[in-house]
Amino acid sequence: MPDLELFITGHKGFETLLFHELRDLLGASDARLQKVYGGVRIDAGIDAAYRICLHSRLANRVFCELARGVIENEQQLYDTVRAIEWEKHLQARNSIAVAATVSRSKLDHGHFVALKTKDAIVDRFRDNCGSRPMVEKTQPDLQVHVNLHRNQAAISLDLSGDSLHRRGYRTEHTGAPLKEHLAAALLVQAGWKRESAPALRLVDPMCGSGTFVIEAAMMAANIAPGLERAYFGFSQWLRHDPELWQECKARARQAIDADVETRIYGSDYDAAALQVARANARRAGVAQLIEFSHQQIAELELPPGHAETLVISNPPYGKRLQGAPDLGQLYSDLGESVRRLAPARLAIISANPDQLHRLKLKRISRKDVRNGPLECLFAIFETALEAEIGKAKVESSETIDETALPLRNRLAKNSKHLQRWAARNGITCYRLYDADLPEFAFALDRYQSEVAPELEWFHLQEYQAPATIEPAKAERRIGIAIEVVKQLFAIGDEQLFCKTRSRQRGSSQYQKQDNQGEFFQVREGPASLLINLSDYLDSGLFLDHRSTRELVYRVARDKSVLNLFCYTGSVGVYAGLGGASSVLNVDLSATYLDWARENHLLNGLDDETRFQFLRAEIIELLRNPARFSLTNEYDLIFFDPPSFSNSSKMQQTLDIQRDHAELIGQAMRLLARDGLLLFSTNRRGFKLADEIGRDFDARDISQATIPEDFRRNPKIHRCWEIRHRE
């Protein structure tokens, strides 16, 4: 016989799904259901309340309403609450907690409403029983909730206690995951149900702590989400029927289908996240139903199968500098992976709907969803079996112009040699080609991802053709070069970044060429470093200085280091990892200093007292170091200025051939008597001033700092060790 008025809340916007779930759950019982804004009203018995708390995947709270009324002032609130026969629901020795939500009402402060409600309850007990319940904020014996909207109040018991999304299995997570009941609602919205699970295979390629795949597995195995919860709000309720509750739990355990056949896959590029997901799956009792794998989204592979695939994903939001490509690339990779799995559907909740076009899939539905503070879009896309897959690779595999054969042969030869050399020396980023053939004037660098070692990128920098070469001919040659690179290394457009390197004047070589904000994490020696292959002419890592950075690493222990023109801070990182006592990185660009900070943080060099960053014009700093508080004598100074600069931020131009003697002399005044200054320049035809050799002990170490992959161009840079004379 229905004797309880229940109000079941779920995630806003999914009331229809919640209504259908509760109707199916309660079946042919006497319960009467009504869908309303924010949830579902039910007139039912206590067994229905138990079943909802135990089995509902979409519910958030189960409220049992005790009274309703118009509340326009605190006295009306007090009188309405006090009139409730609280002694029928709890004893004076029990503990309580009171919460309130208010909107569009004369009483507009939730904490005040909760406080007055608590006063009314304890006053009734004190007057009638001589004692009063205690207030306990964490897991009290009984939770009271007041909802006040447009001066209409509903005073209820919260039978769920904690929010029902807390299943108990997710004791660990990897950031800000979806709440479990929202994840379940999105799965249902996408078409995943227990009845349809055998006909689908489900994959979350960015599974994080595993919420989607765990909820899907629990659905497939018919595991009641509340079965392992240790706390409910009705446990000390005087109307609680422990025997009936135990019967409900026993039936739920009997209904579990441990032998259900499922194909559920969770993958992530983050190995630590996968460990968390596996542990959560074990606690949920579904570890045997989910296959976890460590995969980059761009390389997503599933075991062979002919079932339709449902891909569901909650990608990261906002632009992240560390650890992964930016959102544009992430969405492109996700779309490409889904196309490879055709026929497939993709269900995605996104806080960046402006990126959804990069999926290049057909959208079949959309729904606005709020995820915590974020306004998101939940969209479902589909692809067909006959979708064009790998079109770029097919096109690039066609026969190319015979004039490209010498280039192909040279690239293949260089690659074979350098791959062996790189493997022997643990090098993952190196130069493959540098205008070896005059008619193909470009440089080609290869970078390997540290986060996903199977992923690599190629950076092609075209040297501007001389005026004697017709523009159309130069354009055709670089087009051939691009096709050769794509074909030889079996890569798509998304892995090849092309630039034109003209003769640079001033700071143009450091100015932005694009605004994608893509950062990739690579490994060089002991350091993890961030590169950007799209936005600037250079990647942020000068590969020709690999050996120079190794030298800094070897000599930096216990030394104070001054890194001038620090750029993205790679030398500072090497110094820090080499055990430097302090490192001061100096540059005029705020952008590069931020990049340098990220590189230091990426390597655990986060001690602000040891690793510092100063934005300053280097010429002014060297002329007036006291103005910048550079009073210390540095043990090691790294000085690699641009060849020429007339940046608008500088008070004067810099010509390194003209100015280096003065600048080196000023830098040497900051160097300890037994210290070392490393000076380097990429200026072609550079000649060290005679006075430097006269006044200081200067030793040319250029040849020793040219790495193997730059031996074909030994004039790539010049480098000197400069010390004070004894």
- Residue 504: the pLDDT is 45
Averaged pLDDT, 696-718: 94
- Residue 508: the pLDDT is 41
Question: Which ranges of 142-241 would DSSP assign to H, the alpha helix?
Answer: 180-190, 211-220
Of 180-189, 401-410, 455-464, 581-590, minimum mean pLDDT range? 401-410
Averaged pLDDT, 320-348: 80
**CATH code, domain with 429:** 3.30.750.80
Residues 6 or more apart in contact with residue 462 via CB below 8 angstroms? 441, 442, 478, 481, 498, 499, 500, 501
Q: Examine the domain organization and report whether 70 and 93 are in the same domain.
A: yes
Q: Examine the domain organization and report whether 315 and 423 are in the same domain.
A: no
- Residue 510: the pLDDT is 44
Does any domain span residue 541?
yes
Q: Examine the domain organization and report whether 315 and 400 are in the same domain.
A: no
The Cα 351–Cα 89 span in angstroms is 43
Averaged pLDDT, 601-628: 93
103-160: pLDDT as tens digits = 999 999 999 999 999 999 999 999 998 899 999 989 999 999 999 999 999 999 999 9
DSSP-based three-state secondary structure for 50: helix
Instruction: Identify the residue with better confidence: 146 or 467.
Output: 146
246-266: pLDDT as tens digits = 999 999 999 999 889 899 999
The secondary structure element, H or E, covering residue 64 is strand 59-70
- Residue 401: the pLDDT is 61
Does any domain span residue 417?
yes
Of 5, 372, 10, nearest to 164 by C-alpha is 10
Does any domain span residue 338?
yes
Of 318, 282, 317, nearest to 210 by C-alpha is 282
Does any domain span residue 310?
yes
Does any domain span residue 243?
no
Q: Examine the domain organization and report whether 309 and 455 are in the same domain.
A: no
What is the percent of the chain where pLDDT is above 70?
91
- Domain with 576, as residue range(s), is 535-724
DSSP-based three-state secondary structure for 215: helix
Per-residue confidence at 219, pLDDT binned at 50, 70, 90?
very high
Bridging pattern class, strands 32-36 and 39-44 = antiparallel
Residues 6 or more apart in contact with residue 401 via CB below 8 angstroms? 480
The Cα 297–Cα 268 span in angstroms is 7
Does any domain span residue 166?
no
Averaged pLDDT, 575-595: 95
- Residue 294: the pLDDT is 96
Of 34-48, 347-361, 393-407, minimum mean pLDDT range? 393-407
Structure tokens at 508: 């143009």
**CATH code, domain with 596:** 3.40.50.150
Does any domain span residue 591?
yes
The Cα 510–Cα 518 span in angstroms is 16
Does any domain span residue 512?
no
Structure tokens at 513: 């060429």
Per-residue confidence at 171, pLDDT binned at 50, 70, 90?
confident
- Tell which of 389, 424, 454 closes a domain: 389
497-538: pLDDT as tens digits = 998 765 444 444 444 555 444 578 899 999 999 898 888 888
Report whether pLDDT(241) > 70: yes
Domain tally, the chain: 4
Instruction: Identify the residue with better confidence: 355 or 440.
Output: 440
- Tell which of 389, 406, 421 closes a domain: 389
- Residue 502: the pLDDT is 54
620-664: pLDDT as tens digits = 999 999 999 887 799 999 999 998 876 555 557 888 999 999 999
Q: Are 345 and 309 in contact (CB under 8 A)?
A: yes
**CATH code, domain with 53:** 3.30.2130.30
Instruction: Identify the residue with better confidence: 308 or 720.
Output: 720
- Tell which of 104, 125, 158 closes a domain: 158
Phi-psi region of 106 (alpha: psi -120 to 50; beta: other; left: phi over 0): alpha
- Residue 592: the pLDDT is 94
Residue indicated by tokens 């060089």: 524
Structure tokens at 445: 């660098």
Most confident option among 128-137, 238-247, 326-335, 390-399: 238-247
Task: Please report the sign of the dihedral spanned by the C-alpha atoms of residue 489, residue 490, residue 494, residue 500.
Answer: positive
Phi-psi region of 506 (alpha: psi -120 to 50; beta: other; left: phi over 0): left
- Residue 1: the pLDDT is 56
- Residue 506: the pLDDT is 43
Q: Examine the domain organization and report whether 667 and 544 are in the same domain.
A: yes
The Cα 489–Cα 444 span in angstroms is 12
Of 130-144, 174-188, 353-367, minimum mean pLDDT range? 353-367
Report whether pLDDT(565) > 50: yes
Instruction: Identify the residue with better confidence: 573 or 356.
Output: 573
Residues 6 or more apart in contact with residue 431 via CB below 8 angstroms? 443, 444, 445, 446, 543, 544, 709, 710
Determine the straight-line distance between the first and last CA of the chain, rounded to whole angstroms: 101
Per-residue confidence at 477, pLDDT binned at 50, 70, 90?
confident
The Cα 611–Cα 622 span in angstroms is 20
| Side chain identity, residue 613 | F
1-14: pLDDT as tens digits = 578 999 999 999 99
